[in-house]
Structure 1
Amino acid sequence: MPTMGSEVGNFDMEPFIEVDPTGRYGRYSELLGSGAVKKVYRAFDQEEGIEVAWNQVKLRNFSDDEAMINRLYSEVRLLGSLQNKNIIALYSVWRDENKDTLNFITEVCTSGNLREYRKKHKQVSVKALKKWSKQILRGLDYLHTREPCVIHRDLNSSNVFVNGNTGQVKIGDLGLAATVGKNHSAHSLLGTPEFMAPELYEENYTELIDIYSFGMCLLEMVTLELPYTECDNVVKIYKKVTTGIRPLAMNKVKDLEVKSFIEKCLAQPRVRPSAADLLKDPFFDTILDDEDGDGC
C-alpha cells in the first residue's frame, strides 16, 4: 500500500520497525505493555491515520504444540467478530512464519489501563467508579450472551482500558478467552491468581468466573490495593480463595453500598448474579445511560 512518505519527504520521520503483510499497519519500537507470552507495541494505521496497538505472540513458546498454536490463532480470529463499544476492537490477525510470531492489531485507548489510570487519579468519586463498573459489565454481558458464549478468563484492572477524555472504558486482552458450548462450562486453569474465582482452581467453571474477577477489579478500584497483598505467594492466595476468605482489602471499603455490591460479585457460583442481573441492580440507579461514558 502506498504511503505519504515519498510525497512529504523523509525529514524527522519515526521509522517503522515492522509492517504487516498488507502494508497498512506499521509497528514502532515503543512497547506499550507485555505479559507472559505477548508484547504490545505502539503502531499506526496508515489507511485510517490513527494509532493502534500491535500485539505480538512469540510462537516458540508453543513450539512443541502445534494444536495449541492453531487454537490460539483461531480464537484470536474469532475475537475479530466481536463488536461492542466496551470491548477493544480487533482489526487484523496474521501469522508470520519467518519470525514465528502471531500478530494482531487492536484499537488503543489513550489513557492506558485502568490500574495505572486509577493510581494516577486518586481522587475519584463513587459515581465515577459506578460509571466505569457499568461499562465493564456491559462488555461482559455482551461476551456472555453471545452464541457461543465467550468467557474472558483473565479479567483484571490491567486489561481494562480507558479513554480518559471521554470516560469510556473497554475490556481488552482477550488472548485467554474461551468460547464454550450450551452448558457454558470450561476446564482449563489460567488467569491472574488474585482475581481467579474459586471454581476456576477446580477447573470446572462457567462465565460467572468473570463476575468474580470483576468484583475483585472493583475492590481494587475502591482501595487502590491489589486483592490479597497480605499473601506472599500463590499457594497462600489459593488457600484463602478456595476456603472463601476475603482479602483484607475488603475491610478498607467504608461505603456499605459498594461493599455489598462487591460481595454479590464474589458469592458462590450458584447465587452469583450474571452481568445482566448486576446491570439492573439498584447500585446503578443514579447512573443514567447517557452519562456513563458510553455515548462518546
Structure 2
Amino acid sequence: MYTYALNLGYGKRTDVMEKYEPIQAVGRGAYGYVYLYRQLSNNKHVVIKQIPMESITTEECELTKNEVRVLAMLHHPNIIEYYENFLENHTMMIVMEYAPGGNLYDYLRCRGEGNLLQEEDVLHLFCQLVVGMKHIHECSILHRDIKSNNILLDRSHRIVKIGDFGISKILSSKSKAHSVVGTPCYLSPELCQEKPYNKKSDIWALGCVLYEMLTLRRAFEAETLPALIMKIMRGIFVPIHPQYSAEMRSLVHLLLHVDPGQRPNIHEIISNPLVFPTIFKLHADLGMVRCVSRPLRLSSVGTRTRSSRGSEDSTDREKQDADRSVFLEELSEKETATEATAAMQPSAVFCLDPCGNVCRLPLGHCEGNVCQVAASKTHKAAITNLGQVILWKPPTDSANLDNNDEVLLIPTILKSPSSVVIVQVACGEGFIACITDRGILMTSGSGASGSLGHGSTNDVSQLKIVESLLGVSIKQIACGTAHVIALSADHQVYTWGCGDNGRLGIGSRMMQLWPKLANVDDMLYQVVDVAAGEDCSLLTTSSGILLASGSNRMNKLCVDETDIAGFEILKQIEDVATFVPVCSRPLSNNKICKVAAGLDHTVFLTDAGEVFTSGKNTSGQLGHEGSQNPRVPTRVMEPVSHSHVVEVACGREFTVAVTKECRVYFWGGKGDDPESDQSNHSVREKIRPYLLDLPLNAERRVAIASSDSCVVLCNKF
C-alpha cells in the first residue's frame, strides 16, 4: 500500500489495479464515478471512487485531496473505512469499504408513507451516528455534509457508516469555518446567515437526519431556496408523530435549536437519558468503540474485527439474537433464585469509626441485598445483587442538630440510566466510580483533581461514561482521595487523576485528565487486583508479587531494600513514580494476596492468612510494637497472628482484619481523641488487636472497605 504523501505526488502505479476485479458501477459522485470491485487477494468487495484529475478544476482537485486526507485520519466502526489511493491513467482512485445496504435516504423512502420506524430502531441507528460523529469531532474535523444520502448501511440495515468527506474541514484549536457548504436542506441557521460556524452545524444536520428517520421526510423543504432559508432561520418543521415519546421529540427540538449556543455538543448528546442506554447496547452488540485520541490496548474479550462488523449478515444477527435470548433466560432464572434467597436473609451493613465504635447503616427501600461496599472521606456506598447503588449521606439539616443529637446517615438510591446494571462502586474524595456488568466505567462528582477521567476538571452531576475507556472491558476499580486505578479484563492497568508522589505509576508526577496505560511488564506480572491509598497505588499479581507506586513514607509501601535478615535498610526510598515490586524483607518472602493502604501505614495479607504492617505507629495502628528498625515490616501480634485472616482494611490511624470465621479484629485508634492521652501506655493498649461484637454470618464472606475515618463492612450476598 502506498502512503498518502506519495500518492498525492501523482506517481503512476498502473499495476495496482491488477489487485481488483471490476463488478459494476454503483453511483456517481460530485467529480467522478463510484464502482464496485472485488479484491482478488481475499475476495472482499470494495468500492473505488474514480476522479479524472485532468477534467476537474484546481479547487475540485484540492477537495479530492482533502477527502483522502480526512479518510486517512478516521478509524471507526461507524465510519466508512479507507484502504488506499493511487493514480491510474491520470485518474485518482480512492479505495474504500463497501456498504451493501445502500444509503439511509433510499432505505427510508422505500418504507412507504406512514410505515414509520419503531423508536427503538431509530435510536439504534441514531446512536451509531452519534458515536461516529464523536470520533469525527474528536479528530477536530467538521463533516459539513451530514445527510441521509451520505449515511450508508450494511446488508441487514442495522449498522450505519458515515461517508462522503469531500467537503470536510480539519479545524485548528477553537477555530471556526466560514465558507457556505453543504446540502441546502441540512444547512444550519448560522450557515444560512453566512456567519462563522463550528461543530454545532454538524449537530444541526444530525438533528435533521433524526427527524428524517422519525417522519420519513426532510425537516426543512420548500419550493424555492429563499423559502427554504426562511424556514430554517425560524426553525419551523412539521410536528413529529405522537407515537414517539416526549423525550424523543424533545431531543429533536434540542438538536434543531436555531441558537447554536443552545444546541448540545456531541458529548452532551451521549449523556442524554434517552440516548445513554442505547450506547451501552451498541457497545455490547456492535463491538468496542475505539478512541484514537488516547491509543489504548484493547481487550480481546468479546471483540470482532472492523471488517466483520461491516459485512455482518442476517444469519450472524439471528445467531446473536438466539444466543442473547438464551443468556437472558438464564439470567432471569438466576435473578429469581437470588431474590428468593435475599428475601430470607436480609443485608446488614455496619460502619466502624476510628475508635472502633459500631453502628448499623439503614438500607432504606433498596432492592436486593448488599454484595459490595465502598468508602471515602465524603462517601459511603454499597452495591446490591440487583445492581442498585446505595449512597449514605447525613441529613440536610444536620448542621442544626444539638451536640448531643446523633446524626444518622440517610440512604439514597443513586440514579443510574435505565437498563444499566452496576456491579462495582468505588469512592474518592468528592467523587465516585462505577463499573457496569458490561465492563463500562462511569464516574460522577468533583473533577477538581482530574479523577473523573473525562479530560477536564469540570464537575459532573450524574454518572457519565469514561469515553476513552469504551474500548476496554473494565474488571475492577479503586479510588484514592484524588486518583483512580482501573484494571481491565485482560489485566491492563489504567490510572489518572492527581499525580503527586508518583502515585499514578506512569513515570510522571503531573495530573492526568485522561486514563493512561501504566507501564507494567505483562510478561513478568499478571495483575489480578488493584488498591489505592491516599497517595499511593498497589497492584496484586497472580504470582503473589506486590507492585507499588507513590509515597513510601516510613517505608509504608515496603520498597526499601533490606539485607537478607530484613533488619538493616540498604537503600531508603521516599517515593516511586513507576510500579516496582515490594522488596522489604521479611514481607518480600511471602506471597501477597490482599493489601490496604492508609495515609501513613499499609496492611498486607499473605496467601497463608498472615498479616503484616509497615509505616507509622503513632496510634498503635501497626498492631505490633515494632522492631529495632521502624522501617521494617512486621507481623501483627496475637490474636491476629494465630488466626487465618481473609480481609484487611485500614484508615488513617487504625486497622481492621476479618478472619475466615468472620471474626472482626480492630487495633489502633483515633490519635486526637480528647478522652485519651498519647502516653506510651495508651498506645501500647491500642496496639493489641481486640475482637469486635458484630453479628456476621460465618458461612458468608465479608465485603469490606475503608477510608481515613471509617470502615464499612457486611456479609456478601
TM over 0.5: yes
Asked whether the equivalents of residues 222 and 253 of structure 1 are also in contact (C-alpha less than 8 Å), the reply is no
Q: Distance in 2 between matches of 1:253 and 1:190?
A: 34
3-state SS, counterpart of residue 206 of structure 1? coil
- The equivalent residue for 1:44 is 38
Counterpart amino acid of residue 174 in structure 2: N
**2:215 aligned residue:** 223
Looking at structure 2, the residues matched to 126 and 269 of structure 1 have their Cα atoms a distance apart, in angstroms, of: 26
State whether structure 2 residue 104 is matched by structure 1 residue 114.
Answer: yes
Candidates 231, 235, 260, aligned match of 1:245: 235
Query: What's 1:85 paired with?
Result: 77
Q: In the TM superposition, what is the alpha-carbon distance from 1:207 to its structure 2 partner? A: 1.4
Letter in 1 for 2:235: I
* Cα distance in 2, alignment partners of residues 112 and 212 from structure 1: 23
SS for the counterpart of 1:270 is: helix
TM-score (norm 1): 0.82
**Secondary structure in 1 matching 2:16:** coil
Tell me the SS of whatever aligns to 2:253: helix
Matched, 1:124 2:153: no
* RMSD, aligned CA: 2.3
Q: Which of 76, 86, 96 is 1:94 aligned to? A: 86
Contact 2:63 2:167 in 1 (8 A): no
Q: Report Cα offsets for 1:56-81 as digits up to 9, x if no partner.
A: 23445533x2x652453144134123
Question: Which whole-Å CA distance do the structure 2 matches of 1:20 and 1:41 have between them?
Answer: 18
Q: What is the Cα deviation at residue 223 of structure 1?
A: 0.6
SS at match of 1:287: helix
Aligned to 1:209: 201
Distance in 1 of aligned mates of 2:182 and 2:279: 33
Distance 1:88 1:75 in 2: 12
SS class of match (1:235): helix
Quick one: which amino acid aligns to residue 215 of structure 1?
G
1:289 is matched with which residue? Answer: 280
Aligned to 1:155: 146
2 CA distance for matches of 1:119 and 1:166?
A: 14
Report percent identity of matched pairs.
25
- Larger helix share, 1 or 2: 1
Per-residue deviation, 1:113 = 0.8
In structure 2, how many angstroms separate the alpha carbons of the residues matched to 1:166 and 1:38? 26
Output the amino acid matched with 1:237: L
The alpha-carbon deviation at position 286 of structure 1 amounts to 4.1
SS of the aligned residue for 1:95 comes to strand
> C-alpha distance in 2, partners of 1:140/1:35?
22
Q: Does 1:191 align with 2:182?
A: yes
Q: Is the Cα contact below 8 Å between 2:142 and 2:169 reproduced in 1? A: yes
Task: Give the structure 2 partner of residue 23 of structure 1.
Answer: 18
Structure 1 residue 288 displacement after superposition = 5.5
Q: Which has the higher contact order (CA 8 A, sep 6+)?
A: 1
Tell me how many residue pairs correspond in the alignment.
268
Structure 1 CA distance, aligned partners of 2:197 and 2:120? 32
Indicate conservation of the 8 Å contact 1:110/1:162, yes or no: yes
Structure (1 or 2) with the larger CA radius of gyration: 2
Note the C-alpha offset of 1:117. Answer: 1.9
Quick one: which amino acid aligns to residue 50 of structure 1?
K
Does structure 1 retain, via aligned residues, the 8 Å contact 2:134–2:266? yes
Distance 2:53 2:236 in 1: 37
CA 253–180 in structure 1, closer or farther in 2 if over 3 Å, else same: farther
- How far apart are the structure 2 equivalents of 1:61 and 1:188? 24
User: Structure 1 residues 62, 253: CA separation in 2 closer, same or farther (over 3 Å shift)?
Assistant: farther
Give the conservation status (yes or no) of the 8 Å contact 1:93–1:103: yes
Q: Which residue of 2 aligns with 1:33?
A: 27
Match of 2:320 in 1: none
Equivalent in the alignment of 1:263: 253
User: Runs of 5+ in structure 1 lacking a partner?
Assistant: 1-18
Is residue 56 of structure 1 aligned with residue 46 of structure 2? Answer: no
